[in-house]
């Protein structure tokens, strides 16, 4: 081995920094709580399942101040829940039937690239197929967007998408079976603001299946739209931050 070959390449040096930071983090954890890793290794018992966006700026545990083991997390582009995604559905079933979580929380975020791309009708490649689910949300609520100024469209689509995914969670056989069995399970819809770090409750939490899920969704959308109009759209840009 020559002297030059022993020098790590730039990518290797970057990865080495991650291992160094990992060691530092583990040491800090042990200093703060000597039993932390032993306790974590024995079991996980989260009460919450977070279904969120894969965006690197939305660290689920940090946002809600929970330690590892306290929040079960599933992430994908634009926090979509569809009946053909067995990855998401498997996570949902494991969370409810094995971990016995009590809350499923769909969490979108403002300034979401997936939302922005779907709204603009852009093309990015393979992800276009996934983003068609967002385009479907846009089409289902086209009259709402026709009634709002264009600067509010992105935030509105973000919120509507969360509500639609809450409905999809509630329509899953896993959640319906849990409710029929009387399990204490609630489903919620939230949005995270990148610009201020705050979560917003969209006002739709379900603890049992409503008589008409679509009607319940429509009522929630109407309340959300009325609140936005009453506020003059002032809160619509609270979470904006550019990618």
CA distances from 39 to 30, 68, 98, 189, 223 (A): 11, 11, 19, 31, 44
State whether 80 and 105 are in the same domain.
yes
- Does some domain include residue 243? no
What's the pLDDT tens digit per position in 29-52? 999 999 999 988 887 889 999 999
Quick check: 242 pLDDT over 50?
no
User: Is 153 a known active-site residue?
Assistant: no
- Pick from 175, 159, 169, 166: nearest CA to 227: 159
**With bands split at pLDDT 50, 70 and 90, how would you rate the model's confidence at 243?**
very low
Residue 242 within a domain: no
User: Does 150 map to a domain?
Assistant: yes
| Given 88, 112, 158, 220, the catalytic residue | 112
* Structural domain contains residue 209: yes
DSSP H/E element including 63: helix 60-64
Instruction: Check whether residue 33 and residue 58 sit in a common domain.
Output: no
The answer on 98 and 22 residing in a single domain is no
Parent domain of 124: 46-237
Residue 76: both structure tokens together: 């994908």
Active site residue 57: yes
Give strand ranges (E) for 21-127. 48-53, 71-76, 103-109
pLDDT digits (tens, 9 = 90+) for 154-204: 999 999 999 999 999 999 999 999 999 999 999 999 999 999 999 999 999
Inform me whether the pLDDT recorded for 3 exceeds 60. no
109 included as an active-site residue: yes
29/50 same-domain check: no
Catalytic residue among 20, 21, 42, 57: 57
In percent, the amount of the chain with pLDDT more than 90 equals 79
Q: How far, rounded to the nearest angstrom, does the alpha carbon of residue 216 sit from its chain's CA centroid?
A: 21
Residue 6: band (very low, low, confident or very high) from pLDDT cuts 50, 70, 90: low
Q: Do 101 and 203 belong to one domain?
A: yes
Catalytic residue among 74, 109, 133, 228: 109
HSE at residue 139, side-chain half, CA atoms within 13 A, is: 7
Residues ≥6 apart with Cβ < 8 Å to 61: 67, 68, 70, 71, 73
Q: Is 236 helix (H, G, I), strand (E, B) or coil?
A: helix
Band of the pLDDT at 123, cuts 50, 70, 90? confident
């Amino acid at each position: 081995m020559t002297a030059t070959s022993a020098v790590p390449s730039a990518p290797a040096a970057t990865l080495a920094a991650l291992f160094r930071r990992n060691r530092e983090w583990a040491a800090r954890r042990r200093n703060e709580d000597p039993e932390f890793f032993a306790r974590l290794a024995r079991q996980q018992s989260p009460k919450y399942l977070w279904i969120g966006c894969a965006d690197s700026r939305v660290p689920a545990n940090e946002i809600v101040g929970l330690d590892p083991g306290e929040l079960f997390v599933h992430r994908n582009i634009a926090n979509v829940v569809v009946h053909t995604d067995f990855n998401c559905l498997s996570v949902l079933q494991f969370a409810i039937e094995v971990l016995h979580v009590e809350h499923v929380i769909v969490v979108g975020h403002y300034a979401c690239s997936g939302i922005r791309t779907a709204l603009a009708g852009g093309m990015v490649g393979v992800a276009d197929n996934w983003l068609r689910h967002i385009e479907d949300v846009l089409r289902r609520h086209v009259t709402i967007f026709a009634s709002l100024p264009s600067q509010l469209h992105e935030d509105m689509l973000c919120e509507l998408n969360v509500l639609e995914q809450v409905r999809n969670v509630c329509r899953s056989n896993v959640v319906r079976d849990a409710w029929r069995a009387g399990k204490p399970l609630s489903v919620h819809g939230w949005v995270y603001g990148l610009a201020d770090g705050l979560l917003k409750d969209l006002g739709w939490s379900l603890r049992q299946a409503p008589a008409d899920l679509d009607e319940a969704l429509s009522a929630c959308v109407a309340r959300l739209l009325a609140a936005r109009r009453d506020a003059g759209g002032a809160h619509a840009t609270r979470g904006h931050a550019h990618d």
